[in-house]
């Protein structure tokens, strides 16, 4: 059985080494990261919205990280004023960093597209406001009511253009409202907290101080 034990111990050691190096050691370091004072915890509605985001797989097309401006053009594109750092994600369980930009990065979308109405229209039918978009529609987050049945406290969403449903009033369900609450909470424009600027915590290159956004793009 020597061979089998040697094999299994060796294999175990190989994976354990990686777990120690890439999970446990960083955990010890990252536990020192404090929440930035400007970053608020998610409210109950925002957390509900985050669950809707996860349930519908938004993370598979949208990232939530801004990379260093000396590395790529995330900042120049207007997706953030500075690269994001570990401290920006302390309240995220689990992370939603994403690995795909079929759609734009969203970590600062609350700052970039703060119009609640636009967000609701866009969720109901992205192509009603962004003609070239390939994002799916989410009509199931809304109700399409007959005009006479609309309640006074219903959140009505007026869909512009030819894609509006005929003879129906679009009313946002609580899920849609919660999702928009979550999206609008995504802002990481405050300066990097100095407590998190231990040398090891710095992103790849650059100092992490915010840069003035040169142009405000109309680009989502």
Partner 1 sequence: MIPSSLVVVLATFAIGVLALTVFVWAWRRGLFNDLDAQARVIFEPDDLRLARRWETPAQRVERENAYGAPVVPRRGEWGGAA
Partner 2 sequence: MIRTEATDAILAARGLVPADLEIRLRADASSRLPVLVCYGAAVVWLIIGSLFGELASLKLHWPDLLTRDSWLTFGRIRTAHLNTVNYGWGSLAMIGTSLWLMPRLVHSELRHARMAVVGAVLWNVGLVVGVTGILAGMSDGMEWLEMSRWLADPWLVVGGGMIGFSLFSTVAARRAEHLYVSVWYILSAFLWFPMLFVLGNWPTWTGVESAAVNWLFAHNVLGFWLTAVSVGIAYYFIPKVLGRPIYSYQLSILGFWTFAFFYALNGMHHLVGGPLPTWMITTSIVASVLMFIPVVATAINLHMTVVGRFGALRYSPTLRFVVLGAMGYTAVSLQGSFTALREVNRVTHFTHWTIAHSHVGVYGFVTFIMFGAMYYVIPRLVGHEWPSASLIRWHFGLVLSGIAIYVVALTWAGVAQGLALLDPRLPFEASVIRAHYGLIGRSLGGLLMTTGHFVFAWHVWVMFRGRRVAAARPPFHEARPILYTAPA
Interface residue with partner 2 among 32, 34, 38, 93 (CB under 8 A) is 93
User: Among residues 23 and 148, whose Cβ is nearest to partner 2?
Assistant: 23
Q: Binding mask 158-197 vs partner 2 (x if CB under 8 A, - otherwise)?
A: ----------------------------------------
Contact 80, 108 (CB under 8 A): yes
**CA–CA gap between residue 219 and residue 167 (Å, rounded):** 31
Q: Which residue among 1, 3, 5, 146 contacts partner 1 (CB under 8 A)?
A: 3
Is residue 33 within 8 A of residue 90, CB to CB? The reply is yes
By the rule CB under 8 A, 202 interacts with partner 2: yes
Q: Which of these ranges, 4-12, 39-47, 153-161, 166-174, lies near partner 2 under the rule CB under 8 A? A: 4-12
Q: Which does 2 bind (CB under 5 to 8 A by kind): partner 1, partner 2, none?
A: partner 1
95 is a site residue for partner 2 (CB under 8 A): yes
Please say whether the beta carbons of 98 and 62 come within 8 A: yes
Ranges within 186-205 binding partner 1 (CB under 8 A):
199-200
**In the stretch 141-180, what mask flags binding to partner 1 with x, by CB under 8 A?**
----------------------------------------
Smallest CA-to-CA distance from 80 within 112, 102, 50 is with 112
For partner 1, the binding residues in 7-66 under the rule CB under 8 A are 10, 13, 17, 21
Q: Tokens for 137?
A: 């529609």
Give the binding site for partner 1 (CB under 8 A). 2-3, 6, 10, 13, 17, 21, 199-200
């Amino acid at each position: 059985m020597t061979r089998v034990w040697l094999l299994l111990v060796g294999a175990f050691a190989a994976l354990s080494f990686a777990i120690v190096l890439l999970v446990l050691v960083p955990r010890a370091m990252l536990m020192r990261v404090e929440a930035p004072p400007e970053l608020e915890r998610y409210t109950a509605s925002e957390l509900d919205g985050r669950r809707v985001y996860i349930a519908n797989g938004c993370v598979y097309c949208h990232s939530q990280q801004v990379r260093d401006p000396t590395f790529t053009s995330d900042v120049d594109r207007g997706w953030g004023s500075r690269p994001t750092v570990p401290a920006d994600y302390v309240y995220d369980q689990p992370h939603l960093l994403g690995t795909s930009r079929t759609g734009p990065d969203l970590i600062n979308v609350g700052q970039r597209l703060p119009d609640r109405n636009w967000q609701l229209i866009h969720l109901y039918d992205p192509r009603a406001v962004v003609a070239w978009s390939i994002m799916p529609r989410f009509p199931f987050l809304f109700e399409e009511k007959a005009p006479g049945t609309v309640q006074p406290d219903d959140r009505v969403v007026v869909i512009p253009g030819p894609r509006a449903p005929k003879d129906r009033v679009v009313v946002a369900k609580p899920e849609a409202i919660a999702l928009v609450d979550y999206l609008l909470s995504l802002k990481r424009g405050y300066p990097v907290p100095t407590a998190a600027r231990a040398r090891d915590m710095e992103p790849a290159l650059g100092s992490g101080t915010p840069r003035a956004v040169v142009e405000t793009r109309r680009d989502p």
